Structure 1
Amino acid sequence: MPSLILLATSPRVPAGLLSRDAWRALDAADLVLAADVEEDLPLALADDGVAVTPIGHERATERARMLVESAWTQETIWIGSPDGDPGLSDAIATEVSRLDDGPEVEVLVGSWDVEGGRLLDAVAVMDRLRAPGGCAWVAAQDHASLAPFVLEEAQEVHEAIGAVIADPDDPSVREELTDELGDLLFQVLFHARVAADHAQEPFDVDDVAAALVDKLVRRNPHVFGDATAETLEEIEAQWQAIKAQEKAARTDGPAA
């Protein structure tokens, strides 16, 4: 009997970058369905010659009924929606349970989140808040108005770290540190997004990340190069020496 495959993918991975098993399933399917064929993944599949058919039902129960009925007669793949299709898996389970010999249902993971993928979500949320039609308060802020919050959030992180040091196994204080680090990260994202709007000298969060990566690689040649530094004292001395060299080479201020 044909089966119903629910293809789950990460929205943080480029559309079309799928596992081998996912591509094999798509090639073998009789029918590939999606809620919106104008989403990134259906468009990417169409570019690769996979026909994707839109499904008209919006309610999870109606969508589930159509998917199960389709899987009775043909190998069917459902392309998961970006919102995760709330309620659909439960509705499919209900539909299949009503049948004496229902189709086999399989969840196939087509792509996995990359490490740090939620940082992309944070950047996207920050951009949405700052963009036209977003949050008026966020849009009104500048570096000057935000500066006090950096100190405030840094102090709260410092206090949360102290609590973790005092009781490292307490889940509540570890949760508090997680939350406070997120607040401090928000300030980094916020200032980078404000800077991106500067008319003459813009920079964005990618520039901030690139500068950090370059600095970490440059100041750790014992890891990323041919230098030798084995003790903590040697590593610290190497870092300070490279930092001093950078400071001497700069003309617009001291190195951080």
Structure 2
Amino acid sequence: MSESVQTTGIAATGTSAEADLLAQTADAVRAAGSVLRERFGDVVRYRTREELMSALAVNDDAALEVLRPRLALLRPEASFVEDELAGGALPDGEWWVVDPAEGNVNHLHALPEWAVTATLVRDNQPVLTVVHLPLTGETYTALAGAGAHVDGRPLRVSETEDLGLGLVATSQARPDEDERVVRRIGASITAMLFDALVVRTSVPATLHLVNVAAGRIDAFWQFAGARADLLPGALLVTEAGGQISDAQGRPWTPQSESFLAAAPGVHAAAVTTLSR
């Protein structure tokens, strides 16, 4: 068993049974997305951290009420990751890694950058993933060995070969990062401002990663991060022909302290910039 996400196919080529499972997973994720779309509109006001966490939990619970039982029916033997913010390797076997409201804080602020995601992980390798954007209706899917798609259309990373012409992006893994990580994020943004054409900084990570897979953004990096933040995009980018590593160019695993997804033509240059 390998715990790293490879750059040329993550698991065995997708079978017809897994392709059907992917389609049914997409249906489940879209159903959960419909619930959040109905809840979207006005800015949700909060005055304390407790009120914020409560509002976030309400969205999560509303989506999970639809999503979790459907995924359990699709794969009864698969376990369910309870903590969407957790990182590190999983025990062997199959696991559903979901984020019922990826970019939840954006949803609360009536901003459009949020999604619902579900990824099936087998022995620490992502097998399939679905990322649904309820406001646009787009559904991004990837099946290990069978490519990445948006609404059935193939995805391909960009052909950019010069980081100086590249659009790159980063995100913070969580609001309460420790000082070391915060300073590392700041230094990396400064370095990229010198070396790339444009730097975007926003949450959530997954929406940057679908743009890398679609060739709209040339590279994305992040320090630390939860499995639910990075596994969907890791599979999408890999299956779209991109390269995945940590910020130093080493194989990425859910235990890594950094993450980099890039078009092959700018990956090495991005590693150089981030390794300063």
Q: Which has the higher contact order (CA 8 A, sep 6+)?
A: 2
**Greater percentage in strand:** 2
Q: TM-score range by the shorter chain?
A: under 0.3
> Could you tell me the TM-score, scaled by structure 2's length?
0.23
Q: Which has the larger radius of gyration?
A: 1
